[in-house]
Amino acid sequence: MKPLNRQAYGAAGAFTNIVTWAKDPEGFRRKAEVIAATISMYVADVEGAEPLSQRAEKRTMTEEIEDMVLRAELNPDAIVYGTFLTYPFDAG
């Protein structure tokens, strides 16, 4: 995600995990854009969007992601994001 106002945010952007209900990658991105807008950011890119079952087959879930899943599991409208890992400048 990237901030709408970089000076106010104090960083060029951030990476985060998002857990939400979506039928396809486009639906996932739309929900990510909804949550980004609520915190004055926008989605620059989506990496690794996949169903939870596929992710669980490939990797061990962190405690944070397991908690996010529990919070989203019973609410089809949930959009849960994790810790923001900020980066100070754009690669280039």
Rounded to an integer, the average pLDDT of 64-88 is: 94
23 within a domain of the structure (yes/no): yes
- 19: DSSP letter: E
Confidence of residue 91 (pLDDT cuts 50, 70, 90): low
Confidence of residue 36 (pLDDT cuts 50, 70, 90): very high
63 within a domain of the structure (yes/no): yes
Is the CA virtual torsion 23, 26, 30, 35 positive or negative?
A: positive
Q: pLDDT at position 42, please?
A: 96
Residue 64: how many other CB atoms lie within 10 Å: 11
75 within a domain of the structure (yes/no): yes
Is pTM beyond 0.75? Reply is yes
How many structural domains does the chain have? 1
